């Protein structure tokens, strides 16, 4: 952790996603601007459009004097996009969690209430996180193949946001879903078998509060491949209970592989659907995963801060 004084951040860029989550953002720019002005900060804004957002942001950061920090105001996809633009640079990422899941914000104990999250512009510590490359694509939080990837794809294709929509889609998809067979080669060994779901975890918790990778850190120099084997319907309640109570390893249907690099093949498939930080991608098989240690600076609440409010 690196401490920073209250006056260390003066010029701030806020990347706003107007459609993330199910939150009214009509007054977001005015609220952020007023908060910053009251505290002597200069607030600048970049609004996503869904078209070449990463390239436009990278161009802005490369052609203008860099801000003291860039805040992602949106969901996990927006956070990941801003994180990719900042990875490897000295400019830290701030997070205003305004999406449906906000998984990375939860793992970093960032408040889910806007005014409390804005306090990071004033009081914070800097933490350097590992990041991942999955099939050549950037990821900072969680990626997966299998059931959840399909649900995320359907969720992103729909017009309704929020946890309720996710649960509805998961319920619809579960009866017809068929697990796949995987071959996983890592720097620590090889595993082969069927999986209902396979998560590439740099962190701990999905936005749904499912703890897929308990007791691991975002800066420990490794990632985990968390496997859920096919399970009978009668085992589902017990498995869900363990996932919601940080007891992933206590089930007969779960397994974790810790590694620094991996290669994942799906039996009989030329390509595979992969969810990366809330965004679905179709990637050619096999999928290569590598870790970039501590190459992303992130603003987090000070260790002495009061526990954040949760929604």
pLDDT of residue 122: 87
Q: Domain coordinates of the chain in residue numbers?
A: 2-131+295-300, 137-294
Q: What is the pLDDT of residues 193-235, one digit of tens each?
A: 999 999 999 999 988 889 999 999 999 999 999 999 999 989 9
- In this predicted model, which residue has the larger pLDDT, 259 or 155? 259
pLDDT of residue 197: 95
The model's pTM: 0.88
| Segment 32-55 mean pLDDT | 92
pLDDT of residue 301: 95
pLDDT of residue 141: 95
Question: Domain 2-131+295-300: which topology?
Answer: Rossmann fold (3.40.50)
Q: What is the pLDDT of residues 79-136, one digit of tens each?
A: 999 999 999 999 999 999 998 789 999 999 999 999 999 999 989 999 999 999 999 9
Q: What is the pLDDT of residues 136-188, one digit of tens each?
A: 999 999 999 999 999 888 887 777 666 677 788 888 888 889 999 999 999 99
Q: What is the pLDDT of residues 248-258, one digit of tens each?
A: 999 999 999 99
For domain 137-294, say whether CATH 3.40.50.980 is its number: no
pLDDT of residue 306: 46
Residue 18 pLDDT more than 80?
A: no
Q: Quote the CA–CA distance of 101 and 163 in Å, as a whole number.
A: 7
239: closest CA among 147, 165, 142? Answer: 147
296: closest CA among 94, 89, 4, 58? Answer: 89
Residue 309 pLDDT more than 90?
A: no
Q: What is the mean pLDDT of the chain?
A: 89
């Amino acid at each position: 952790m690196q401490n920073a004084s209250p006056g260390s951040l003066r010029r701030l860029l806020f990347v706003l996603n107007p459609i993330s989550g199910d939150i009214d953002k009509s007054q977001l720019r005015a609220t952020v601007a007023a908060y910053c002005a009251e505290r002597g900060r200069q607030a600048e804004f970049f609004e996503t459009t869904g078209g070449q957002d990463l390239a436009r942001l990278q161009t802005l950061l490369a052609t203008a004097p860099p801000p003291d920090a860039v805040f992602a105001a949106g969901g996990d996809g927006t956070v990941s996009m801003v994180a990719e633009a900042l990875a490897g640079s000295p400019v830290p990422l701030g997070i205003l969690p305004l999406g449906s899941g906000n998984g990375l914000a939860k793992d970093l104990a960032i408040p889910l209430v806007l005014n409390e999250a804005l306090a990071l512009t004033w009081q914070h510590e800097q933490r350097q996180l590992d990041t991942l490359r999955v099939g050549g694509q950037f990821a900072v939080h969680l990626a997966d193949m299998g059931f959840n990837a399909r649900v995320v794809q359907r969720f992103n294709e729909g017009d309704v946001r929020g946890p309720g929509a996710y649960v509805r889609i998961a319920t619809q998809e579960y009866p017809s879903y068929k697990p796949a067979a995987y071959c996983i080669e890592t720097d620590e060994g090889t595993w082969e078998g069927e999986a209902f779901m396979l998560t590439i975890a740099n962190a701990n918790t999905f936005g749904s509060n499912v703890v897929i990778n308990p007791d691991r850190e975002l800066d420990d120099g490794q990632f985990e491949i968390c496997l859920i084997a096919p399970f009978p319907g009668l085992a589902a309640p017990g498995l869900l209970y363990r996932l919601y109570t940080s007891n992933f390893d206590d089930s007969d249907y779960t397994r974790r592989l810790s590694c620094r690099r991996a290669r994942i093949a799906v039996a009989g498939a030329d390509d595979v659907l992969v969810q990366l930080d809330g965004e679905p991608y179709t990637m050619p098989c096999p999928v290569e995963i590598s870790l970039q240690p501590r190459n992303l600076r992130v603003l987090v609440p000070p260790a002495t801060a009061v526990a954040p409010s949760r929604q």
